[in-house]
């Protein structure tokens, strides 16, 4: 088990995902978006994302998650000798606050995660001719790329506000 996959396992344990559950698209999507948000919370795991149908996606993360699952299923437990630093745990706590559903969010977790990660990606990583981009342009691009969010402007604004609460509208990464 590589140190990168050991770290991934420790993080998945800390954020409540434990052993990678990859048997459904929803579970794989949740893992992708949570790791993306962990990284923007300031814990760089060296995963680089591209835009895909459901927002930010990292093929290497998917590969590592499947390899990690195989290693665990075969009895490897190298991760048991490691712990996360206090600094890493604080960043993970911050990340979990970003995606926390709370009473005001009327959505399933996968949709909420997809929206949060997609908005952040469009604001900070996507290419925009001319550089700076207005919130309205980001919202429009999101709805063009993901028609399921059309007519859900209040929901999009709620996700935007959540990112703002954590300083992720004006800054790319928390640290």
26 Cβ contact list (under 8 Å, min separation 6): 110
Which of 45, 46, 39, 37 is CA-nearest to residue 116?
37
pLDDT at 175: 56
pLDDT at 174: 62
Q: What is the pLDDT of residues 136-174, one digit of tens each?
A: 999 999 999 999 999 999 999 999 999 999 999 987 666
The answer to whether 23 and 106 have CB atoms below 8 angstroms apart is: no
Q: What is the pLDDT of residues 26-83, one digit of tens each?
A: 889 999 999 999 999 999 999 999 999 899 999 999 999 999 999 999 999 999 999 9
Mean pLDDT in residue range 13-33: 89
């Amino acid at each position: 088990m590589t140190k990168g996959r050991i770290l991934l396992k420790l993080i998945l344990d800390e954020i409540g995902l434990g052993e990678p559950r990859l048997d459904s698209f929803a579970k794989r999507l949740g893992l992708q978006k949570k790791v993306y948000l962990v990284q923007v919370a300031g814990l760089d795991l060296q995963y680089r994302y591209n835009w895909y149908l459901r927002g930010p996606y990292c093929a290497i993360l998917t590969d590592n998650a499947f390899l990690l699952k195989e290693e665990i299923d075969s009895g490897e437990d190298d991760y048991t000798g490691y712990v996360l630093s206090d600094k890493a745990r604080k960043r993970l706590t911050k990340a979990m606050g970003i995606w926390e559903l709370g009473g005001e969010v009327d959505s399933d977790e996968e949709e909420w995660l997809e929206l949060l990660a997609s908005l952040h990606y469009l604001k900070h990583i996507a290419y925009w001719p001319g550089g700076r981009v207005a919130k309205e342009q980001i919202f429009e691009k999101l709805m063009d790329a993901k028609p399921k969010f059309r007519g859900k402007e209040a929901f999009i604004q709620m996700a935007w506000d959540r990112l703002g609460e954590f300083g992720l509208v004006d800054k790319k990464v928390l640290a």
